[in-house]
Amino acid sequence: ANLVLLPGDGIGPEIVSEAQRVLEKVAELFGHEFSFSSQLIGGISIDKTGDPLPQETIDACKASDAILLGAVGGPKWDDPSAKTRPEAGLLKIRKELGLFANLRPIRLFDQLVDSSPLKRDIIEGTDILFFRELTGGIYFGESGRSGSGQDETAFQSMAYSVREVERIVRMAAKAAQQRDNRLTSVDKANVLEPSRLWRQTAARVMAEEFPDVQYDVVLVDAMAMHLINRPRDFDVVVTGNLFGDILTDEASMLPGSLGMLPSASLGSDGPGLYEPIHGSAPDIAGQELANPLATILAAAMLLRHSLSLLDEATAIENAVAAVLADGLRTKDIARGGKHIGTKEMGAAVVERLQ
């Protein structure tokens, strides 16, 4: 398989390189051929080419089987008056590759339950899979300004079409069938017209195509509450781009170990894009302090979702669990105890692969 690596900024390069070592070991053990090509994205790409997502990167991604991304951004490129910003590269690649579904599993490793800010009896056993719509909604809506002085007004439009809702709801419902067969759709239908269309469309798709899946709807404000006091009650959750941005970040705090959470962005066909959900953490870059496990788990998702290599994906996940069971920790999850470096952690996972 032909894999594109997008190391990006900050700790991106060091964590992607550990994930690459893990993938190389998987290839060796299971008899596959993975070829890797590294491409530019984000701040480093602005520095080198002026563009956070050069055409060359887009072309390489489109020709690939799957993409593994580190992280983009950093204070260096944060000037609000700058012509372009690293995040623009991220938004553009989602759109260019038609990656309309962002999958975020929120799961707790038993060994890390005590890292959670939540009490054990609330968080234990939490296992949610979020589907966030990623190429529509207010993110890509018409925007502009009018008027001046105190009357100057800025707007941006949230829009969803039946087609956009159908495809993400279908994908989420199919995933629910592989899990606990429950789907929750989150909207703000008591206030927003696009949410009303979302709710109607989702209800129809579920009734017509997935009558076996247990289905319910929750308002976004209520969901923000439920995630904190009864996270265990949810299986698969599907929602729009903006609500998904907020809710998945909220949910990502529940395990208390951001450095452990991967995500996948998928389209109907073509390559998927896989990445850790944490940021580029420029403050700790190059110091052997970054936790590579989220990126390594993103590589496992890549094997599962883009290459259909299920045993190989499970092998990586088991190796990560084994490393944790052996008490190995990077600084972010060590809770003040002994810790190892980025490369040591990558090597420990490689060692336990079989």
Ligand X SMILES: CC(C)[C@H](C(=O)O)[C@@H](O)C(=O)O
Q: Which does 138 bind (CB under 5 to 8 A by kind): a copy of itself, ligand X, none?
A: a copy of itself
Within 10 Å of residue 125's Cβ, how many Cβ atoms? 12
| Minimal distance, residue 122 CB to a copy of itself, in Å | 5
**Which residues are paired to 145 by β-bridges?**
154
Which residues contact a copy of itself (rule: CB under 8 A)?
A: 80, 85, 87, 91, 117-119, 122, 138-139, 141, 143-145, 147, 149-163, 166, 188-194, 196-199, 220-222, 224-225, 227-229, 242-243, 245-247, 249-250, 252-254, 256
Within 10 Å of residue 325's Cβ, how many Cβ atoms? 12
Q: Which two tokens stand for residue 69?
A: 């991304």
Contact 154, 144 (CB under 8 A): yes
Of 153, 177, 190, 314, which lies in the binding site for ligand X, with binding defined by CB under 6 A? 190
Within 10 Å of residue 318's Cβ, how many Cβ atoms? 14
Q: Which does 196 bind (CB under 5 to 8 A by kind): a copy of itself, ligand X, none?
A: a copy of itself
Instruction: Order the strands of the 236-239 sheet from edge to edge.
Output: 35-38, 2-8, 66-71, 272-276, 262-266, 101-107, 127-133, 236-239, 182-187, 214-219
Of 24, 51, 65, 87, which lies in the binding site for ligand X, with binding defined by CB under 6 A? 87
Helices 310-325 and 342-352 cross at an angle (nearest 10°) of 120
Between 71 and 300, name the residue whose CB sits nearer to a copy of itself: 71
Between 223 and 309, name the residue whose CB sits nearer to ligand X: 223
Task: Give the residue numbers marked as catalytic.
Answer: 139, 188, 221, 245, 249
Between 84 and 318, name the residue whose CB sits nearer to ligand X: 84
As a whole number of angstroms, the distance between CA 19 and CA 5 comes to: 10
Query: 141: annotated binding-site residue?
Result: no
Phi first, then psi, for residue 292 (nearest 5°) are -85, 0
CB-hemisphere CA count at 13 Å for 143? Answer: 8
To the nearest 10°, report the CA torsion of 172, 175, 181, 182: -30
Between 99 and 348, name the residue whose CB sits nearer to ligand X: 99
Query: 341: annotated binding-site residue?
Result: no
What part of residues 232-251 is at the interface with ligand X (CB under 6 A)?
A: 245
Do the strands 101-107 and 262-266 form a parallel or antiparallel pair, or are they unpaired? antiparallel
| Minimal distance, residue 268 CB to a copy of itself, in Å | 14
Contact 322, 310 (CB under 8 A): no
Query: 86: annotated binding-site residue?
Result: yes
Between 31 and 149, name the residue whose CB sits nearer to a copy of itself: 149
Query: 77: annotated binding-site residue?
Result: yes
| Minimal distance, residue 10 CB to ligand X, in Å | 13
Tell me which residue has its CB nearest to ligand X.
87
Query: 282: annotated binding-site residue?
Result: yes
Q: Which does 145 bind (CB under 5 to 8 A by kind): a copy of itself, ligand X, none?
A: a copy of itself
Mark the binding-site residues for substrate, compressed into ranges: 94, 104, 132, 221
Q: Given the rule CB under 6 A, which residues bind ligand X?
A: 87, 90-91, 190-191, 221, 245
Mark the binding-site residues, compressed into ranges: 74-87, 94, 104, 132, 221, 245, 249, 279-291
